[in-house]
């Protein structure tokens, strides 16, 4: 399951930007290169999965809007390669920070279906010790 699609990138960042980032042919074709887009989206999915797998059962039953947006920010950064503008790099850093927070359980996906895929709570810490030597019953009469 992929978290985002080509159309999501177009909707968020515009067709012109996606064309500029993916049309790497010489001479340029004036068409968005689907192979380049697919590779960036697959790389983004792999990165998102690396974080989410620590806290959630994958694949998620549905892709929450938050995850879609994070995947788009990661894919956009990957498309820019080493020459990402400051704004793109900053959005990527914020996306990674949010993914880390999700992985550590410090943030929520915000929907019941994704939360249902969380592992069952362990019930907290469990302590075991030998029975008490001195108790109200054993000390009775002293």
- Give the pLDDT of residue 116: 43
pTM over the 0.85 mark: no
The residue ranges of every structural domain in the chain are 6-116
Closest to 103 (Cα-Cα) out of 60, 55, 42, 57: 55
Closest C-alpha among 68, 60, 70 to residue 112: 60
Does the pLDDT value for residue 126 go beyond 60?
Answer: no
Give the pLDDT confidence of 51-83 residue by residue, as tens digits: 999 999 998 889 999 999 999 999 999 999 888
pLDDT in tens, 68-125: 999 999 999 999 988 899 999 999 999 999 999 999 999 998 754 444 444 544 555 6
Q: Whole-angstrom Cα distance, residue 99 to residue 97?
A: 5
């Amino acid at each position: 399951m992929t978290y985002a699609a080509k159309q999501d990138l177009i909707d968020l960042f515009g067709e012109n930007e996606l064309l500029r980032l993916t049309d790497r042919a010489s001479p340029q074709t004036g068409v968005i290169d689907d192979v380049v887009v697919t590779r960036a989206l697959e790389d983004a999915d792999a990165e998102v999965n690396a974080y989410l797998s620590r806290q959630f059962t994958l694949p998620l039953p549905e892709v929450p809007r938050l995850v879609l947006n994070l995947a788009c920010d990661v894919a956009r950064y990957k498309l820019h390669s080493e020459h990402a503008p400051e704004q793109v790099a900053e959005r990527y850093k914020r996306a990674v920070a949010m993914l880390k927070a999700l992985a550590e359980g410090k943030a929520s996906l915000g929907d019941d279906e994704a939360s249902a895929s969380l592992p069952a709570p362990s019930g907290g810490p469990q302590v075991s010790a030998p029975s008490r030597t001195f108790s109200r019953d054993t000390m009775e009469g002293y």
